[in-house]
Amino acid sequence: MNSYVNALAVSGTDLYAGGAFTTAGGTSANYIAKWNGSSWSSLGTGMNGTVRALAVSGTDLYAGGDFTTASGTSANYIAKWNGSSWSSLGSGMNSAVRALAVSGTDLYAGGEFTFAGGKISEYFSLYGLAVAAGTTENQYISAVSFNNSNTVHLLYQSSESSKVGYIRYKKWDGNSWSSAVDLDSNADNSYPTIALNPSNNDLYAFWVRSNYIYYKKGISPYASTDWDSSATALVTSGTNKYLTSGYEAGEDYAFFEWTSGASSPYGVKFYGVSAAPPNQAPVVSNVTLNNQSNITLIESSTTTVSATADLSDAQGCNTITSITAKIYRSGVTNGKDCTPNENNCYSVSSCTINNCNGNYASTTCSVDMWFNADPTDSGTPWESEYWRAYIEATDSGSLTGSGYSPTDVPDVNSLLAISVSGSIDYGNLNPGEKNDPLNKTTTVSATGNISLDTILFGTNLCTDYPTCSSYYIPVGKQRYATSSVAYSSGTALSGDPGQELELNCPKTTNHTSPQTKDIYWGIEIPNPQKAGSYIGQNTFTAVKNELPWP
């Protein structure tokens, strides 16, 4: 052709083309031509203006566009070719026709007109039965299709002031129009066209944006959530205009044809889209870790911590084949790709899928977090960090989707916990004798997730403990230190509330080998002192060590 092709239609073995051209294969053909498999021919003398839409009903061909005559016969924007001559359809329209579709003996037309056959019709008309209600929006109807119940589907480029250029969809059920669905909210869209799978009423919408050709599929009832969540770019090169589309039921695919090229001679190209939609990756959303509440651990044990998420997959939730997760401290090296360990990075190799229904499901990913997992609350080396969950879902097509829990929360709380070895046996001492240097030990183990000091206090040692109504040795006669120093250099034990010992026990990093520190003890027996067995109680309280931790 020597200019654009806007529309194509097939009748038997003949292909009809309409557009802005005036020659086809070198033959004069004003805006419409027929290809018989070997050569192009004109249809009478053609039109006096651009043809924008074609439709076939039996052996009749309908054309719509910007013309007002067909082969010299008055035909206002719409005409019928019976195989040998053109005729008008009543008085036609009062402006351009941009879309045509046939259902039985009915012809549907959409375009820029407001009158059809002398009747008021806002941009959309039905010939044969009645004039349909208007779409009540000021836009051009650019594509029309129908299903077996004569529901009419419209795809159009909006000219509404707040949505100029949007690709929108509406449905006419014979009585009223549905709400418009925005399929593409960019302003530079053009040339929308729509096709219908008659076996299941699936819709295929195509349009051009910045010379790319895009596609979305919709399923009944065609609400916004029934269309693909994102558009697929099918053609991403060249200059592409004037789309028309259809459905090949025998081969079970939708197709579109378009004019390609920036100047004459223009090409006409074809693209088929399988009824099976292109696989789309799963979507992971609303990820939470421990319900976004701070995590409290259990001394010398594990705590079950769970991350949850919502899942969706356009091919159905039952196509999701695996879900994995990482639960980690936010500042750990490599983030979600951290190496699993019990301090700051936990891995879940298989999460559970819950409540799978259609396209939607949820998931739970649980780990047993050890007591020594890094704390991120105040007064710790990681107080500026938090813990986070990353969840990844994979479908049967090996596509993956992922999501993270929110930033800043939750924290793992500090777990102040210690264990202390057995009793302190000072042995047999005479009045006036003492442990010098300090030579009795207690071993303190860090059974939480902090570097710790300890507060120490005690009671008097009594022969009738805990009554202590008789003979006793004062609590201050006990002394302690972090090494075996002289008795005189030790710290005298006091009663409640006691005082802090800078123990500087490191944080435990391996749950099987808690960090430990020894405390050295000694006692001096008063002189005189009644002979007997003296018993008391010393108390050890875990205290978070000051920064920096050893």
CA dist., res. 279 & res. 234, Å (int): 14
In a domain, 529, yes or no: yes
In a domain, 183, yes or no: no
Give the residue among 189, 214, 194 at the shortest CA–CA distance from 204.
Answer: 194
Residues ≥6 apart with Cβ < 8 Å to 190: 157, 165, 207, 208, 209, 241
Does residue 424 share a domain with residue 359?
no
More confident residue, 280 or 508: 508
- Are 502 and 382 in contact by the 8 Å Cβ rule? The answer is no
Q: What integer pLDDT is reported at residue 294 of this predicted model?
A: 98
More confident residue, 21 or 415: 415
Q: What integer pLDDT is reported at residue 321 of this predicted model?
A: 95
Owner of token pair 């006990």: 478
Q: Which two tokens stand for residue 498?
A: 């006691």
CA dist., res. 323 & res. 393, Å (int): 4
The CATH number of the domain holding residue 492 is 2.60.40
Counting the structural domains of the chain, the total is: 2
Indicate whether 363 pLDDT > 70.
Answer: yes
In the chain, what percentage of residues exceed pLDDT 70?
A: 92
- Out of 404, 432, 461, a domain closes at 404
Does residue 367 share a domain with residue 438?
no
In a domain, 460, yes or no: yes
Query: How many C-beta atoms surround the C-beta of residue 550 within 10 A?
Result: 9
**pLDDT, tens only, 177-213:** 788 899 999 988 888 888 888 878 889 999 999 999 9
Query: How would you classify the pairing of strands 152-157 and 167-172?
Result: antiparallel
Q: Which two tokens stand for residue 495?
A: 């009663």
Mean pLDDT (whole number) for 23-43: 91
Q: Which two tokens stand for residue 449?
A: 């997730």
Indicate whether 125 pLDDT > 60.
Answer: no
Mean pLDDT (whole number) for 262-273: 80
- 3-state DSSP call for residue 262? coil
Indicate whether 132 pLDDT > 50.
Answer: no
Q: What integer pLDDT is reported at residue 384 of this predicted model?
A: 97
Sheet with 60-65, edge to edge strand ranges: 51-57, 60-65, 78-81, 86-88
Does residue 525 share a domain with residue 450?
yes
Query: How would you classify the pairing of strands 352-357 and 345-348?
Result: unpaired
CA dist., res. 97 & res. 78, Å (int): 7
Does residue 534 share a domain with residue 485?
yes
Q: What integer pLDDT is reported at residue 119 of this predicted model?
A: 46
Q: What integer pLDDT is reported at residue 173 of this predicted model?
A: 76
- Are 96 and 66 in contact by the 8 Å Cβ rule? The answer is yes
Q: What integer pLDDT is reported at residue 124 of this predicted model?
A: 42
Q: What integer pLDDT is reported at residue 111 of this predicted model?
A: 72
Q: What is the mean pLDDT of the chain?
A: 88
Tell me the pLDDT band of 278, cut-offs 50, 70 and 90. Answer: low
Question: DSSP readout, 179-229?
Answer: PPEEEE--TTEEEEEEEE-TTT--EEEEEEETTEEEEEEE-TT--GGGB-S
More confident residue, 337 or 55: 337
Does residue 381 share a domain with residue 468?
no
Q: What integer pLDDT is reported at residue 161 of this predicted model?
A: 82
Does residue 475 share a domain with residue 524?
yes
- 3-state DSSP call for residue 312? strand
Does residue 336 share a domain with residue 437?
no
* Owning domain of residue 322: 283-404
Residues ≥6 apart with Cβ < 8 Å to 334: none
Give the residue among 486, 523, 480, 522 at the shortest CA–CA distance from 503.
Answer: 480
Indicate whether 244 pLDDT > 90.
Answer: no
Q: What integer pLDDT is reported at residue 134 of this predicted model?
A: 39
Does residue 471 share a domain with residue 387?
no
- 3-state DSSP call for residue 487? helix
In a domain, 526, yes or no: yes
Q: What integer pLDDT is reported at residue 31 of this predicted model?
A: 93
- Are 113 and 93 in contact by the 8 Å Cβ rule? The answer is yes
Residues ≥6 apart with Cβ < 8 Å to 292: 405, 406, 409, 410
Tell me the pLDDT band of 351, cut-offs 50, 70 and 90. Answer: very high
Indicate whether 108 pLDDT > 90.
Answer: no
- Are 303 and 295 in contact by the 8 Å Cβ rule? The answer is yes
CA dist., res. 109 & res. 90, Å (int): 14
Q: What integer pLDDT is reported at residue 254 of this predicted model?
A: 86
Q: What integer pLDDT is reported at residue 129 of this predicted model?
A: 26
Q: What integer pLDDT is reported at residue 136 of this predicted model?
A: 43
Q: What integer pLDDT is reported at residue 265 of this predicted model?
A: 76
Query: How many C-beta atoms surround the C-beta of residue 26 within 10 A?
Result: 9
- Are 154 and 183 in contact by the 8 Å Cβ rule? The answer is no
In a domain, 83, yes or no: no
Eight-class DSSP state of 12: T
Indicate whether 118 pLDDT > 70.
Answer: no
Indicate whether 502 pLDDT > 80.
Answer: yes
Does residue 422 share a domain with residue 362?
no
In a domain, 515, yes or no: yes
Give the residue among 231, 243, 237 at the shortest CA–CA distance from 278.
Answer: 231
Q: What integer pLDDT is reported at residue 157 of this predicted model?
A: 84
- Out of 404, 429, 462, a domain closes at 404
- Out of 372, 404, 436, a domain closes at 404
Does residue 439 share a domain with residue 373?
no
In a domain, 488, yes or no: yes
The CATH number of the domain holding residue 388 is 2.60.40.10
- Are 96 and 111 in contact by the 8 Å Cβ rule? The answer is yes
